[in-house]
Structures are given as structure tokens and as C-alpha cells.
Amino acid sequence: MFLFLGGIFVLITGYFTYGRFINHILSPDNRPTPAIKDNDGIDTLPLPLWKNLLIQLLNIAGVGPVIGVIIGIKFGIKCFWIIPIGCILGGAVHDYVSGFISLRNGGINLPELTRQAFGNTYYRIYVLFVAILLLLVVAVFVNVPSQLIVGTLPSSPIGIPSFWLATGLILSYYIVSTIFPIDCIIGKIYPLFGALLLIGSIAMFGALLWNGLGNPLLFTETEAFRAGMFHDQPVIPCLFVTIACGIISGFHATQSPIVARTIRHECEARLTYYGMMIVEGIIAMIWAAAGMAIYNTSPELMMQKPALALQSATEHFLGNSIGALTILSVIILAITSGDTALRSLRLTLAEYFHISQLQLRNRLAICLIPILLIGLLLWWSNRDAASFESLWKYFAWGNQILAASTLMACTVWLKRQQKPAWITLLPGIFMTFIVSSFILWSDISHAGCPYGFNLPLPIAYLLAALFTLGCTGIVCRIASKHKTTL
């Protein structure tokens, strides 16, 4: 209980201390933002601060800080201090700096930001990688809410399997919300979704406090809990891949330009980017605690799909009515990240192929092939628990490659602006080591891990360290070539 509550206190303190320090380095000013000077009425237009906060939070807080931490808490109680430290020094910095660069450069998408840092060759490869990752994101953020809907309403009234009926409805919403102007659908329904999210999170937080006071063992590594922990997966790198969004997430940098195009004043950027990542960290702490509590209550759930553990936790600690509302808030978390992931994919492809997005037919056409590919991923991932866990690991690993690359691109930008670049370089070095050591060690023989090189862990660490050292040297050399001030 102490680590759980202490971690939340550290997160809040981090916003007012380290967050203020990062804000001082970036130095937002009164220059016109893209929403003011480039208003197109579709993707770029001014929205009030409260709407931008909700859009950013719901964009980034997908199933990662819920499903990811329910899986990740199997690494043990250490998650309660790793999540807040990683969020403050890594995740929130990653979100704020990448979002601020987009804000300063006309709302550019992540691949274009990377092109400006590393050139056209890397850019072409990176666009493909980002597109694949966003396809995985949408597939995950359709699969999880569909499974939760099936768990809540298992029977379909029209004879179609419940999973595919839910999937069809969610994908239909994704398409509609993606092709229409951001203020038509997302800007209008996100306030309601945000309210449900806050109610669900606060309800679970209160229930955990109440139950924890009566039974402190819920938040400890009991003997039964230890038996189900990850014993064959090293904390470094696996924990930082599994908890892909509660600590740091490259996916967030694909979402930052969406809000960079709707922010009215640069002074709103710190709360929008750094602040909402801190809120996501708090959500992750709540669900990590819920995961540990339900695993201590029903240890057999540690061998089941994380969605089942999520449903069991809400029913056990909140009852059927409030529990159903909380499940609804988690479904909303997934859906409100999946819709903007598809929107980000549309904007990225349009930017790369120079396709105007002012015409509705262009916005619709660019979404059709991705939707077909997402359908194939859903069919594969829904076959069994192992397929979904494999999909999650590929998504999480690709997500963290994106985080490492984004941090290095931000380092180049900061260095060229003659600002302290270590604030992104240090977490960038760490994440480069994490993703490289993971794929060097990983193999299908390790439960739930994607294909990799299956090297012994010490050798994987050594090669990853050498690779990271080489990448750091290249980034620093590139960053030193040109220095400008915006």
C-alpha cells in the first residue's frame, strides 16, 4: 500500500518539479500556433484547453496503462516505483518534447520530424515502420474492447458471433471519426468519454484503498503471487516492453501532432503533454494495484488472458453495477486511442504521398487498405490467448523502438536549438538498450515473446550496449552538424 500511494505522490510531485524544469528548457512563447495560422477546418483548428486535455489523455491512455500493467505486475511489486520514475524522467519528457516540436513546426507528424533529424533514407524506412505499428495499435485497440464487450454481453441478438459484431461496430466508428473533422465527432463525444474514464478510475482507486486497509496483503508478493510471477523473463528488458504505455510509449508521439494542430497557445503545451502523461501514469498505478490485488485474491487468473483478470477485478472490488461502468471506461480507453491511431495513420500516409485531405473522398480512400489489414490481424490474434499475447509483445516492442527513435530525434532537435539535449538523450540511450537487448534475447521459446535471436542474456546485454553506444555516437554527430534557433 505504501509503494502504491507513494508512487502516485511522486508522479504528482514530478509534474510540478521536473515538469517545470522541462518547460523552462523548451521556453514556450506567444508565437502563433498551427491552429491559428494554418486553420483548415478539418485537422487543424483551435480547440479550448479542456478539450485538448481530454483528447490528448484519451488518445494516449489506451489499453496499455490497463492491460499492459495487469500483465506487467507479474514482474512484482517493483512496478510501483519503476512506473512513476520512468513516467517522470522518460514518458512525460518524450511526450512533451515531441509534441512541442510538432507544435513549433506546423503540426508535422512523427515521420517528418524524424526526416528533419536523420534524413530521407531513414525517413522512408521509418514511415513503413510507423504505418505497421499503427496497424498493430488499431488491431490491439479493437481486439481488447471487443473481448471485454463479449465478456459483458456474451450473446449476439442477430446470430453474428459477438466478437465480430463488436469488432464491426468499433471499426465503423473508427472510420467515421477518422474521416470527419476533429471537432465534429472527437471534439464532441470525448468530454463524455473523459467523464466516464475519471469515474471508473476514481471508483477503482477508492475500492482498492478500502480493501487494502482491511487486507494489506493484497499489495504484497504473497507466496501464491510469487508462484505465478514471470520467472523466465528478465526485468530488463522485458518489464519495459510489457508496460509499454504506463512508463513510456512511442505511440504517444504519433498522437501528439493531432493536438499540436488544435492548441491555441504554446503555454498550454506543458499541461497538455507532460501533464496528461502524468495522469496516465496515475491510471497505470491504479490498475497495477488492481492487478496485484486480484492475483492475490485469485492466483489462477495469472495464467489467463489479462482481459479476464480485468473483468474479475472490477466485479470483485466494485460489484456488478459499478464494475460494469468501470469496464465501460476501459473499453472507452481502448476505443479513444484506436480511433486517433487510425487518424494518425491517415495523416502520416497523406503526408508521405502528398495527398490532400480537404476532400472527403481522399480521406476515405486512404483508410480502406489499412482496414482490410487490420481485419486480418484481428482474425489471427483472436484464435487463442497465445496469439493475442504474441500480438501484444510485437506491438509493445515496436512501440518502444518508436520511443527510442523519437527520443533520439528530439535530441537532435534540442542540440540544434542549443538547448540541453541530455533530457531526451539519456532516456533515449536507455530505451535503445532495452529494445535491442530484448530482440537479441527474445525467442518464441520464451513464453509470450516474439521471434528474436535467442542469445544468452549476458551476450544480449553486451551486444545491445555496443549497439547503443554506436547509435549514441551517430546521433551526437548528426546533431552537431547544424545549429539553429527557432
Where are the domains positioned within the chain?
2-479
**DSSP structural state of residue 304:** S
Residue entry with cell 520512468: 86
Q: Indicate if the alpha-carbon torsion angle 68, 69, 75, 80 is positive or negative.
A: positive
Pull the grid cell for residue 203.
Answer: 471508483
Contact assessment for residue 54 and residue 188, using Cβ atoms and an 8 Å cutoff: no
Tell me how far apart the alpha carbons of residues 89 and 108 are, in angstroms, rounded to a whole number.
24
Distance of CA 31 to the CA centre of its chain: 29
Query: At a CB cut-off of 8 Å and minimum separation 6, what does 211 contact?
Result: 218, 293, 317
CA neighbours closer than 13 Å in the CB half-sphere of residue 478: 20
Structure confidence by residue, pLDDT tens digits, 315-338: 888 887 777 777 777 777 778 777
C-alpha–C-alpha distance, residues 56 and 375, integer Å: 26
Q: What CATH number does domain 2-479 carry, 1.10.3720.10, 1.10.10.10, 3.40.50.10490, 1.20.1740.10?
A: 1.20.1740.10
Helices (H) and strands (E) in the chain — how many of each?
21, 0
pLDDT at residue 271, rounded to an integer: 97
For the packed helices 120-152 and 110-118, what is the interaxial angle rounded to 10 degrees?
A: 150
Q: Which of 126, 128, 162 is nearest to 147 (CA)?
A: 162
pLDDT at position 437 is 94
DSSP secondary structure letter of residue 271: I
Q: What is the pLDDT of residue 14?
A: 97
Cα–Cα separations (whole angstroms), residue 57 to 108, 191, 197, 332, 410? 20, 11, 10, 12, 21
- Residue-wise pLDDT for 446-465, tens only, equals 766 667 888 999 999 999 99
Letter string b/e over residues 180-212, b meaning 16 or more CB atoms within 10 A of that residue's CB: ebbbebbbebbeebbebbeebbebbbebbeebb
Tell me, what amino acid is at 368?
L
Condensed to tens digits (0 to 9), the pLDDT of residues 141-194 reads 787 788 777 766 666 566 667 778 888 888 888 888 888 887 777 777 777 777
User: Grid coordinates standing for 356?
Assistant: 490532400
Please give the DSSP secondary-structure letter assigned to residue 256. H
**DSSP, res 229:** S
Number of neighbours of residue 48 by Cβ within 10 angstroms = 11
With 0-12 / 13-18 / 19 or more C-beta atoms within 10 angstroms meaning exposed / middle / buried, residue 302 is buried
Model pTM score: 0.86
How many other CB atoms are found less than 10 A from the CB of residue 3?
18
**Cβ count near 267 (within 10 Å):** 13
Answer yes or no: are the C-beta atoms of 442 and 451 closer than 8 Å: yes
131 Cβ contact partners less than 8 Å away, ≥ 6 residues apart: 345, 348, 349, 370
What three-state secondary structure class fits 249? coil
Can you list the residues of the chain whose pLDDT is less than 50?
485-486
- How far apart, in Å, are the Cα atoms of 77 and each of 292, 456, 460? 8, 26, 26
